[in-house]
Structure 1
């Protein structure tokens, strides 16, 4: 299989490999991206995006977002990411939104994904801001719903392999994890999950098992 590649140093800032915005019906396939930022980033007003057969790393992973930074209404749906190999990236399958945003992200699938020493293999961050961990609590937020993680495996280089950090005001709903097996890069160490206000279901063998709230 022939891969088309794009490359920049791993410490280079603001060097997204591919950024998609204000677009629909886009396919990215057979691509190798080694960069200092997101391998692929998905911005506002996008739909029907298919990303497959991608090698990513170094870089910040495949990111839906960041979204809603200026308080705008976000419309992102039908995003499908499959057959991706993440190698030594800071993130893997990521959704990131600013609290001041509104609108929605819905119908997202991450399928058949492999992680090799990834800091945050599975992450939803609805508290994305300039100063990580110092975001002021807001009553607004982007609605994230119907996100499926299926057949994901590999290693995490941090203790928290699954982080679903959803807004306390605008919950994540319809989260499904199916056949997920994440372990630590450090022999003998265990990985955990961290879930805040995330509703959904777990099917099949999932490790580490996230504490999702039951879908109502």
Structure 2
């Protein structure tokens, strides 16, 4: 009997090995060094990358574009998928792609590495270095500078995977997912100084079925930005900091704007960030909405605004619309959120006066300020003051904390 089982396992192993190597044999593989790329970080390798892409697209078999260890200089490159026959292309990066050191080369191109209308593309491993330092210095000096390029962008694409990818020194957004369906971002690492401007870690909009997991993001703007038209977004196990937290919006700049719905953010840690979880909308007419949002199992470590809804968003109070936000916010749940606030106002709800927030639930929210007190600040109507707020207050009093609930312009709505 033992001999029979041993033979069975051996035969199983043989079959797995056979099919594994058979699949490798039929796959098309394109090593960019074989196409003329040099790993010195100085020789322009853009043609080699585009040549590899053209060949991979023409293949009727799954294809791999391989980037060996080393540094590869890459200019602005667009990988177009409309005429691509292949729906299984893997870009395996074991090296580092570097942008030109002169920021003017890609600074006005919009994107450094752009994928447009592709299906079944996976980007595995590697580091993208956009070499932004000189551009940031230019902007800080007040000179006329390019707007900067997004490091990696996917537009109107389906079934996308990004796994084990690192982005450093981005000129603008690090990773953009726009108009995509079914995208998975796993083990992403973003590293940028806390004062880097307009430098979102992962920027998602007009997309559905996006998953972001097991990632570490430090930047000068939102760790994750959730824009108009985003639905069925799952964010889990994220370390955020420095940065502006995980933000829905800003929304409501346009009158006709798609809403945000079915978003889950769970098991995330925010360290020294400007915000934890935030919803922000402009104070102007809009038919946009935010609904069915869950923030759960979150840890705040010295965060300035751990929980915030801001429907009078206007950065730097410059050219503020000073109207009333039309964006309707409803069905937002905050559950199991613990940690410390860097300011006295740990929870702030500044909802629209004309279109009040509704069905806002807080449960098991325990935030401290200097180990002593928490302030919950309700500036504008919530539709009806949730019973959960009084439950939180009672819980905090039992723990000998001092709680201040500041309510301005509150009135019940039916």
* TM-score in terms of structure 2 length: 0.48
Q: Name 1:178's counterpart in structure 2.
A: 363
- CA contact 1:126–1:141 (8 Å) conserved in 2: no
Change (3 A) 1:187 1:110: closer
Q: Name 1:192's counterpart in structure 2.
A: 375
The answer to whether the aligner puts 1:113 opposite 2:298 as a matched pair is: yes
The answer to whether the aligner puts 1:94 opposite 2:278 as a matched pair is: yes
Displacement of 1:71 in angstroms is 3.3
Q: Name 1:14's counterpart in structure 2.
A: 198
Give the number of the structure whose residues are more often helix, by fraction.
2
- CA contact 2:267–2:296 (8 Å) conserved in 1: yes
Secondary structure of 1:191 counterpart: strand
Structure 1: which 4+ aligned runs deviate by more than 3 Å?
130-137, 202-216
Q: Deviations over 1:145-201 (max 9, x none)?
A: 0000000010000110000000111100010000100001x244x221111211352
Displacement of 1:4 in angstroms is 3.0
Q: Name 1:71's counterpart in structure 2.
A: 255
Give the number of the structure whose residues are more often strand, by fraction.
1
Q: Name 2:330's counterpart in structure 1.
A: 145
Displacement of 1:88 in angstroms is 0.2
Displacement of 1:69 in angstroms is 1.8
Q: Deviations over 1:73-119 (max 9, x none)?
A: 23110011000000000000100011223321100110000000000
Change (3 A) 1:215 1:108: farther
The answer to whether the aligner puts 1:163 opposite 2:351 as a matched pair is: no
Change (3 A) 1:133 1:192: farther
Q: Quick one: distance in 2 between partners of 1:14 and 1:81?
A: 22
Q: Quick one: distance in 2 between partners of 1:81 and 1:18?
A: 14
Q: How many residues align?
A: 213
Structure with max Cα Rg: 2
- CA contact 1:74–1:105 (8 Å) conserved in 2: no
The answer to whether the aligner puts 1:80 opposite 2:264 as a matched pair is: yes
Q: Quick one: distance in 1 between partners of 2:366 and 2:282?
A: 29
Q: Quick one: distance in 2 between partners of 1:60 and 1:80?
A: 18
Q: Deviations over 1:120-142 (max 9, x none)?
A: 00000000124439845424420
Q: Compare relative contact order (CA 8 Å, sep 6+) and give the higher one, 1 or 2.
A: 1
Secondary structure of 1:74 counterpart: coil
Q: Quick one: distance in 2 between partners of 1:158 and 1:66?
A: 22
